Amino acid sequence: MHIILNPTSNQPIYEQIIYEVKRRVLQGVVVAGDQVPSVREMSSQLTVNPNTVSKAYKELEREGIFVTYRGKGTFIAEDVLELVKEKEVGHLKEQAEALFVKAMQAGMTKEELKQWIEEFFKEEGRESDD
């Protein structure tokens, strides 16, 4: 699993690791059943403190993305893609709600917001579903 960290980011390294793992899952690079490098291996690859990697791994396990089997190692959970997608959609919904509130406070109309969405779909080369 190849993870890219940004040492100049304000985001803590362990959060970057979590984000990168989830991104790899959504991209299909990492799939259910894949073995994850040990904490030592990953910390060596990333040249970060093993405690930082351990913190990320514990959070990923708590979220159900990683599963650890004693004596065998850590693996990507079976239902990982659905789990990550569900969490991402939930997070996006929260962001959309916050944007909606700000748009309403700024006096935007429902039609103006719909127009934005239509434009975003067109920019991505897709037509929206009406």
> What amino acid is encoded at 12 in this protein?
P
Single pTM value for the model: 0.71
Can you give the pLDDT of all 130 residues of the chain as single tens digits? 789 899 899 999 999 999 999 999 989 899 999 999 999 999 999 999 999 999 999 999 999 999 999 999 999 999 888 888 888 888 889 999 999 999 999 999 999 999 998 998 888 887 655 5
**Residue burial 118-129, b: 16+ Cβ < 10 Å; e: rest:** eeeeeeeeeeee
Which CATH number among 1.10.10.10, 3.10.20.30, 1.10.10.60, 1.10.1030.10 corresponds to the domain 13-78? 1.10.10.10
Q: Kindly tell me the sign of the dihedral angle through the C-alpha atoms of 69, 75, 79, 82.
A: positive
Mention every residue, 6+ apart, whose C-beta is less than 8 A from residue 43: 49, 50, 52, 53
